[in-house]
Structure formats: structure tokens, C-alpha cells
Amino acid sequence: MQQVMFNDLGIMNYQSAWDLQEVLLQENLRKKAERQESGEDTIHHLLFVEHLPVYTLGKSGKMEHVLIDEDTRIQRGIEFFKINRGGDITFHGPQQLVGYPILDLEKFYTDIGRYLRSLEEVIIQTLNDFGLKGERSPGETGVWLDANLPGKERKICAMGVRCSRWVTMHGFALNVNTDLSFFDHIIPCGIQQKSVTSMEKELGGLIPFNLVKDSVKKNFEDVFAVKLVQDL
């Protein structure tokens, strides 16, 4: 069974977490390039983090999906980044569980679609642990509730990844007790006329954040057939 080094970063601004991901990704790319000479092997990582309020726009995103003007955004203390993952615009903030797997997919399977479906499965199983039925929406990455009921579709987990020489970064953002009002100022993931929800909203009360973390960790181990090891 493969090991994945796990690190819970707590609350961290977006740039610091992005920088850390880049360091871990580049280190794995270096090891791939020098593997025959050095004998070093790549290391899998999984980072958990809560971000301070930030909007991030992916490579395929459109600025017109940002509905808040810059002055108001700055006044509200919301950061903004154009980033190198797939996908469009999304929000990260407190009480949203963000997971960043830095995995060498050559040790699993070289299939980005399968990788995304596996990430979705982790979240679907986590939601099931709390009595919610997460679903996939055809042609749309992420996890939804009532995905096949027109007018009632609600996105509860956004996803966007980057892959370089089969090493991944970025990942998923699960709305646990997230302040959903931040989504009013964007067209989330560039998808109009579909709403965003949270576990708190669906279940009618605050959800113990650490219990959600534990569930995601367990389901990540099960879906990817790995063992999480605390990164000291």
C-alpha cells in the first residue's frame, strides 16, 4: 500500500498554500528527472487547509464571471488570484475544507478523468457519512446535490486540478459551514442558474469541522488505496 504524507495547514492565505504546492510539485518533478542517477523516488502528499477569503480564476475562466468590483472586493478583504488550475471562478474561505493532493499519478494510473472521478468519489462517500447524497453532474466536474433535478441542482464541492508530467496539484473545496454569501459576487465555476450549497445549509446546523476532515481522510485512503502518514 502506497503512503501519502498528510499535513493539515490550518488557516492559511492562498498565496502561501499555492507556493507550498509548487515547492512539493517541483521537488517531485526533479526526482523524476534525476531518478536514474539519484535513486530518489517521488513522494505523495495531501494538504488540508482553510483559506482566508479569496476568489481564484482558473485557466479557462472568464473575468465577466467576477461580479464584484475591485474596490468593493478589497474593502471586504477578499483576495483575488488568476491561477494555473483548470476550471473557472470559485471562492475559498473559512469553514470550507480545501484539499490539495500532490500525487504522482504514474504510480496510480495516467488518466486525469479517472483521477477527477476518484476525487469526486471521496467527497460523495464523505457526504454519505453525514446523510447527504452527493452526485456527479454529466459534463461538470465536482459534486452536486440533486444533480438531475432541473432547477434544484446545488453544487457542494468544487474541483480543479493541474497536472505536470503526471504530478498533480490543486484539488477540491468542500463547503462545510462556509459563508455562502461570498458566492453571490461570482458566477461559481462559470455555471449560471445553478446554486451553491453547504453541509451546514443542507443539514440545518453547524457541522463539526474535524469530523468532516476525519471522514475525508478515511475515504481518501479507501478510494485511492493508500495510507495517510502524518508529515512532521
Q: List active site positions.
A: 189
Distance between CA 110 and CA 112 in Å, rounded? 7
DSSP for 193-227 reads T-EE--HHHHHTS---HHHHHHHHHHHHHHHHTEE
Distance between CA 32 and CA 27 in Å, rounded? 9
Distance between CA 218 and CA 232 in Å, rounded? 19
Q: How many CB atoms lie within 10 A of CB 131?
A: 9
Return the SS3 of 231. Answer: coil
Distance between CA 184 and CA 85 in Å, rounded? 22
Cβ pair 88, 61 in contact under 8 A: yes
Distance between CA 84 and CA 214 in Å, rounded? 29
Cβ pair 89, 165 in contact under 8 A: no
